Amino acid sequence: MTINCHGHLIDLSVPRVMGILNVTPDSFYDGGKHNNLDTLLAQAAVMLADGATFLDVGGYSSRPGADDVNLDQEIGRVLPAIKALHQTFPQALISIDTFRSSVAQAAIDAGACMVNDISGGQADPDMFAAVGSASVPMVLMHMRGTPQTMTSLSQYDNVIIEVTQELATRIAQARSHGINDLIIDPGFGFAKTRAQNFELLNQLEHLIHLKLPILAGLSRKSMIYKTLDKSPEQALNGTTVMNTIALQKGACILRVHDVAQAQETISLVQALKN
């Protein structure tokens, strides 16, 4: 349960936190909050002080129905952010949240040491080769379609079995390109209904059969705030509940907006296990 991030061996036998840093104007919760480098660096400093192991930088909103962003726009958003983060926090482990191989490569050149691909390598035929040649870890998330089409692609006979099977196919593709360090993400909210999201979380431990670390990205998502009839801004308590369940069912990384609360959740769940 270790991954190699540019020579840093990260032990995932104790769960870790990945802080979300979106440099987008339209992400569902933090859109526009970190578009200024000063606010970005200030938020990164707080996240690292609160215990984040990874910082995940994204320049393409993947909320359902989000506008498409062209390649130049995405690069123009993420590269200055990654360069500034790498210069200010040289020991920080920066992940690039993208499904485009050219963005991933540019981000790695700028200081990123992990690729988080919401398409699981399916959107860009060159992604696996780019990650393999860079020798960095890759997060394979499960999604069908694109952020623009995924809400119409949520037909499953058995969501946990089909998600597991589709992830297994993507793992095999990644392995064939020499990618050694893989993390899987079931893709809560991506081509799944609210009921399917809860079913997937309830059976998350079945993904352990893929023998890879599991990332859970539940932070302030609609399965939480719509169920509670609240807004994303009011969904922190619900996020903590969902993260607790994910940890108990085998998650190794929590991808969150609120690092301190996620780190406390990990500490308490670990105390319970011990």
Question: What one-character-per-residue DSSP string does the chain give?
Answer: -EEEETTEEEE-SS-EEEEEEE--S--TTTTTTT-SHHHHHHHHHHHHHTT-SEEEEESS--STTPPP--HHHHHHHHHHHHHHHHHH-TT-EEEEE-S-HHHHHHHHHHT--EEEETTTT-S-TTHHHHHHHHT--EEEE---S-TTTGGG----SSHHHHHHHHHHHHHHHHHHTT---EEEE--TTSS--HHHHHHHHHTGGGGGGG-S-BEE--TT-HHHHTTTT--GGG-HHHHHHHHHHHHHTT--EEEES-HHHHHHHHHHHHHHH-
Q: Which residues are catalytic?
A: 221, 255
**Is residue 156 domain-resident?**
yes
Q: Which residues are registered as beta bridge partners of 3?
A: 10
Task: Please give the pLDDT value at position 151.
Answer: 84
pLDDT exceeds cutoff 60 at 124: yes
Average pLDDT in the 93-107 region? Answer: 98
Q: Is residue 239 part of a domain?
A: yes
| Residue 108 belongs to some domain of the structure | yes
**pLDDT given for residue 30 in this prediction:** 58
**pLDDT at position 150:** 86
Structural domain count of the chain: 1
* CATH classification of the domain holding 35: 3.20.20.20
Does some domain include residue 183? Answer: yes
Q: What percent of the chain has pLDDT over 90?
A: 86
195 in a structural domain: yes
Q: Using 50, 70 and 90 to split pLDDT, how confident is the model at 105?
A: very high
pLDDT in tens, 56-84: 999 998 777 667 889 999 999 999 999 99
Domain ranges, residue 17: 2-269
**Within a domain: residue 274?**
no
Question: pTM score, two decimals?
Answer: 0.94
